[in-house]
Amino acid sequence: MNPRPVAGRGGRLLQLLLVLACCVMGAAPLRAEPGRAGELFAALRPAVVQIRVIDLASGDKASLGSGFQISADGLVATNFHVVADAAHEPGRYRLEYPGEDGVAVPLQLLDVDVVHDLAVLRAATPLPGALAQASAELAQGERIFSMGNPLDLAMTIVEGTYNGFVEGARYRKILFSGSLNPGMSGGPALNQRGEVVGINVSHGGEQISFLVPVSYLAALQKRALDPERAGKDMASRITDALLEDQDAYFGALLAEPWDSRPLGHFRVPGSLGPSVQCWGGSDEIDEELFAHIGQECGSDDTVFVGEDLQTGGLRYSFHAYSTEDLGLVRFYSLLDGQYAHSEWFAATDAKQVGSFDCREDFLEGRGIAWRISVCARRYTELPGLFDMSVVMATTAYPQEGLVANLALNGVSEPRAREFLRRFVESVSWAP
């Protein structure tokens, strides 16, 4: 994408008027009479396409997805993850869709919403019609229909049911009881009137799939036509969105009081919010002469940035150990054996993330003496974002011990420091 210069005030007004005139004077959105999947498919198929990411060096397909036209002048919607390669490396890839005559139609990437996995493109040759976006909420159990090109086989339509939003998710997603398959990503999910209610994004197997609510697409479509964004490259837009998202998420967690619960003779934070789930377990190991209670918490929601780079994750765990039979040396040796950094990190792309830099120290928390190791690494192509890994172990109790882990994925340095400080202070001794 070649950046366009920022227009002046009069130029922006003229552009907006031209866009409005184009949308008003263009072809009416495609619609279908309420009814069977076959009728919807026949009526709306002209507005749905396969999105192809072409490797320029070989001229072959690098990846595939689906998309659909959302305006008469050729705006096309899809998932960000479908076009991520072209967003990151526009010099290596081009985007296209296959025309009805077999000739490839070029697509230009206009804007992305990396947090909600959406992208808006412009087709060099508009399709015959556009899909209307729904404004009314659906009721639980209503039929909805997903369209896309699974596994590069053919354009298909899948019938399922709307089940509201996924409970406890960090990012709002629609739970769709239907079978999405690879290649359908970015295609539309439609109500019985043929209006778009969501965008295909992922599947969980066994008739469980997920959709991005169409409201996020409406917001992105509006931003994509803002001439002031044209001067910003795609990398800056992605970085800004991730920084804003992590600041809002971790800021909200820090703004609320943290739930405190007993774990052995300690008190530790439980779930920090609706998007954080906790699991626990305990055991007594007679032959090894100690007891163990564990709690692990985290958010399963991450943001797709690239095939080997997802950010936004949060994980933390506490493992309490107690003994009446182990001596001091053997008990501290037990704690030392559990003192290890979490291996959970979703960024594995060596070009995107640097190496971890670690520091170890001893500090006093809320009445607890800790041995602590803090490791951090920076995102080389997303400036201002870091991964942080922390492991802590108590040092002052001869028969009780606690080992804690914290992993933050894609966080700014100020938020990481603030979160770590709060995390350390949230643990206390409770005899």
| Whole-angstrom distance, CA of residue 33 vs CA of residue 41 | 11
CB 78 within 8 A of CB 96: no
CA distances from 300 to 127, 171, 251, 260, 376 (A): 38, 10, 18, 21, 21
140 and 248 co-located in one domain: no
Give residue 229's pLDDT. 84
Segment 218-260, tens digit of pLDDT: 999 999 988 888 788 999 999 999 999 999 999 999 999 999 9
Q: Strand (E) positions, 300-368?
A: 303-306, 309-311, 314-322, 357-364
Highest mean pLDDT among 2-16, 22-36, 169-183: 169-183
Mean local confidence (pLDDT), 410-425: 96
Last residue of a domain, one of 232, 255, 284: 232
Local structure of 411: helix, strand or coil: strand
Asked whether residue 106 carries a pLDDT value surpassing 70, the answer given is yes
298 and 387 co-located in one domain: yes
CATH code of the domain covering residue 60: 2.40.10.120
Last residue of a domain, one of 215, 232, 249: 232
Q: Could you give the number of structural domains in the chain?
A: 2
Segment 11-63, tens digit of pLDDT: 333 333 333 333 333 445 665 555 588 899 999 999 999 999 999 999 999 99
Beta-bridge partners for 210: 175, 202
Range of the domain at 262: 241-429
Asked whether residue 384 carries a pLDDT value surpassing 70, the answer given is yes
Say if 4 falls within a structural domain: no
- Tokens 């739930």 -> residue: 259
- The per-residue pLDDT of the chain, averaged, comes to 88
Give residue 2's pLDDT. 35
User: Side chain identity at 17, as an amino acid letter?
Assistant: L
Say if 417 falls within a structural domain: yes
Pairing state between β 75-78 and 188-190: unpaired
Segment 75-99, tens digit of pLDDT: 999 999 999 999 999 999 999 999 8
Say if 87 falls within a structural domain: yes
| Whole-angstrom distance, CA of residue 380 vs CA of residue 294 | 35
What is the percent of the chain where pLDDT is above 70? 90
Segment 361-382, tens digit of pLDDT: 999 998 899 999 999 999 999 9
Give residue 287's pLDDT. 67
Give residue 155's pLDDT. 93
Q: Strand (E) positions, 92-190?
A: 93-98, 104-113, 118-123, 143-148, 156-165, 174-177, 188-190
313 and 264 co-located in one domain: yes
Say if 354 falls within a structural domain: yes
- Tokens 């192509």 -> residue: 381
Local structure of 39: helix, strand or coil: helix
Say if 105 falls within a structural domain: yes
246 and 203 co-located in one domain: no
CB 300 within 8 A of CB 278: no
Beta-bridge partners for 111: 120
69 and 108 co-located in one domain: yes
Give residue 345's pLDDT. 76
355 and 225 co-located in one domain: no
Last residue of a domain, one of 184, 211, 232: 232
Model confidence band, residue 391 (pLDDT cutoffs 50, 70, 90) = very high
DSSP string for residues in 254-286 = HHSPPPEEEETTEEEE---STT-EEEEEEEEEG
Q: How many CB atoms lie within 10 A of CB 131?
A: 25
Segment 312-364, tens digit of pLDDT: 999 999 999 988 888 888 888 888 999 999 887 766 667 788 899 999 999 99
Contacts of 324 (CB under 8 A, 6+ apart): 289, 399
Say if 2 falls within a structural domain: no
Beta-bridge partners for 321: 292, 401
